Amino acid sequence: MPKKLLTTPIKPVRSKIKPIVKTSISDEIVDQILSLIAKGALKPGQRLPSERELCKDFGAGRSSLREALRCLSIVGVLTARVGEGTSVAINGGKFLGKIVEWRIITEQHDIEDLMIALESVAAASVARQRNEEDISRLELLLNKMEAATKNQKRFAALDLEFHISLAAASENFLIFDLISMIRAQMGKTLSRVLLVPDALPLSLKEHASIVSAIMHRNPDAASKAMQHHLNAALRRYHNALGNEPTPITNSRSREIPGSSNKTTGKIKKKA
């Protein structure tokens, strides 16, 4: 018996069909270079082949190639020097900075959550390591903050130094860079937090709890103390503006795993 043809699809397929997006040649070159860097085929400081070679490998014209390289240089992925050619940037700080700057402009609340998460991990890491020199520095900053509770500007500068010093003491360079960038971009917001009534003595007490947990080599307590401090500070600020933030809860301190797996990639020609 011949099978009957279905005249009506069991499930609608039109809703699953996506429009075909035509990308420019320069966009495809950018995507390939970023992919090669991500896979480790292109490493920090490594010089790219000449324009002639790249045009041949990509199957693209010079104008498209130059546009792609210029875009990647602007955001800090590549470094171009006259007479030296183009190479992968050794320090990705500029690229990260651009991303963080844009995300802060468009997604303020998400950046606040990220800051709390990163600084909580950093505090736990410092407590776990318990380096006496780092602890002495944090104690010194805490004493200076106590002496500056009548001077909002001085207290704000010390507050920033405290958090940057703690991030550096975590010995995780990526966390340090991210915290530094976030705090640099959120400088005005974070300094306004201290203008709220009683903010300085409350902030001092919260910082003291962080240092105490670190001194007692208690990573979990250090993480929770940092989380409590930042949530409380942002809550004071948003309450003053009439906007109540949603605090992060139940976060756990954890190690940031590193990856040693490396893969290689090849430049694909433009079809």
Decide if pLDDT at 52 tops 50. Answer: yes
pLDDT of residue 251: 40
Q: By the 8 A CB rule, do 142 and 162 touch?
A: yes
Decide if pLDDT at 70 tops 50. Answer: yes
Determine the Cα–Cα distance for residues 214 and 222; give it in Å rounded to an integer. Answer: 6
Decide if pLDDT at 144 tops 50. Answer: yes
Range with lowest mean pLDDT among 172-181, 195-204, 225-234, 247-256: 247-256
pLDDT of residue 212: 97
Q: Average of pLDDT values for 245-253?
A: 44
Question: What domains are defined for the chain?
Answer: 25-90 (1.10.10.10), 95-241 (1.20.120.530)
Mean pLDDT is highest, among 100-104, 131-135, 195-199, 236-240, for 131-135
> What is the pTM for the complete model shown?
0.63
Range with lowest mean pLDDT among 19-23, 171-175, 227-231: 19-23
- In terms of Cβ atoms closer than 10 Å to its own Cβ (0-12, 13-18, 19+), residue 26 is buried
The fraction of the chain above a pLDDT of 70, given in percent, is 75
- Better pLDDT: 132 or 22: 132
Mean pLDDT over each residue of the chain, to the nearest integer: 81
Band of pLDDT at residue 104, cut at 50, 70 and 90:
low
Q: How many contiguous H segments (helices) and E segments (strands) does the chain have?
A: 11, 2
Contacts by 128-134 with C-beta closer than 8 Å and gap 24+? 128/217, 128/219, 129/169, 129/170, 129/171, 130/214, 130/215, 130/217, 131/169, 134/165, 134/169
Q: Residue 124's closest CA among 217, 49, 38?
A: 217
